[in-house]
Amino acid sequence: MNRRTWIHAWLMLLPAFVFLIAFTHLPAVTTLIDSFWTTGKGRRAAVFTGLGNYRKMLEDPIFIKAMVNSAVYAAITIPASILLSLAMALLVHRSFRGVSLMRMAFFTPTVLPLIAVANIWLFFYAPGFGLIDQIRLVVGLPSANYVGQPDTALYAVAAVTIWKEAGFFMIFFLAALQTIPQSLREAAAIEGCGRWTFFRLVTLPLIMPTTLFVSVNAVINAFRLVDHVFVMTKGGPDSATMLLLYYIFETGFRFWDTAYAAALTVVLIAILSVVGIGQFFLADRRVHYK
């Protein structure tokens, strides 16, 4: 009797697991194995090199540049998009004329393809006739080439990411805010509790699980969202916007050095795992669950 339930359960899981293992777990394992070999070229077969690919990384200036860029990119986009999305949610979590229009404005970037909107942003940044430059000229500032300058290109790309993500995260905060009972608000009002105090002592602890969920997603996206780099900068100028995932793409599919690309992927997986798991355990204690 029980055995039959087991078999039924396993049969129901089988199709999903075939795909899951074939395209997620198995490739993750073979990536790790491949990273210890060299790339076979033509008649020259791949040979075992141990940590050779990883040693190569330490001497690869573009890899180091990509790691630094990814760190900066994450350090900008994660807090900025979380704070902005929380502010947006607090803004539209009330009723006034035009609130649905405002909510729509914030959410629109979520449904637009990043690859498509990158073109529009490219125009905003365009030196001379772009929107930002037109404003600069009116104010009397000199023309600036945000995407073409190594010292501003990464920030220009990060701005697009923040724009894309904030509205998406807002939805989750909005959902969390709606679960806060009105009675708490009334009680606080009777106690003469200020808005800021209410936010700090009631709202913030209650939305902590959402904040955790959003920040895990923000971390993952900080390493995953590179579509606009293809349109805006292609990693340039002078590797200024080279991000880890974009570098994996270039190594694997432009230079066809698949073994080195595998080693780079292992680094990316390691970062995601450490950050994801670490965040979960660290934040676990401070999260207020029902």
Binders in 144-173 for other proteins, by CB under 8 A: 163, 166-168, 171-172
Strands (E) in the chain, as ranges, are none
Task: Tell me whether residue 65 or residue 164 sits nearer to other proteins (CB atom).
Answer: 164
- Cis-peptide into 79, omega within 30 deg: no
**Does the protein bind other proteins through residue 201 (CB under 8 A)?**
no
**Does the protein bind other proteins through residue 107 (CB under 8 A)?**
yes
**Does the protein bind other proteins through residue 211 (CB under 8 A)?**
no
d(CA 269, CA 275): 10
Task: Pick out residues in 66-85 that bind other proteins (CB under 8 A).
Answer: 84
Task: Tell me whether residue 195 or residue 288 sits nearer to other proteins (CB atom).
Answer: 195
d(CA 222, CA 235): 15
Could you say which of 130, 158, 243, 250 contacts other proteins (CB under 8 A)?
130
* Phi, psi for 37 (deg, rounded to 5): -115, 165
**Does the protein bind other proteins through residue 278 (CB under 8 A)?**
no
Element (H, E) at 276: helix 258-284
Task: Pick out residues in 223-252 that bind other proteins (CB under 8 A).
Answer: 223-224, 226-227, 230-231, 245, 248-249, 252
- Which amino acid is it at 168? F
**Does the protein bind other proteins through residue 17 (CB under 8 A)?**
yes
- Give Cβ neighbours of residue 197 (< 8 Å, ≥ 6 apart): 188
Smallest gap from residue 149 Cβ to other proteins (A): 17
Task: Tell me whether residue 57 or residue 166 sits nearer to other proteins (CB atom).
Answer: 166
**Does the protein bind other proteins through residue 254 (CB under 8 A)?**
no
Element (H, E) at 62: helix 61-92
Task: Pick out residues in 39-68 that bind other proteins (CB under 8 A).
Answer: none
Could you say which of 116, 135, 137, 141 contacts other proteins (CB under 8 A)?
116
- Give Cβ neighbours of residue 39 (< 8 Å, ≥ 6 apart): 46, 256, 257, 258, 259, 260
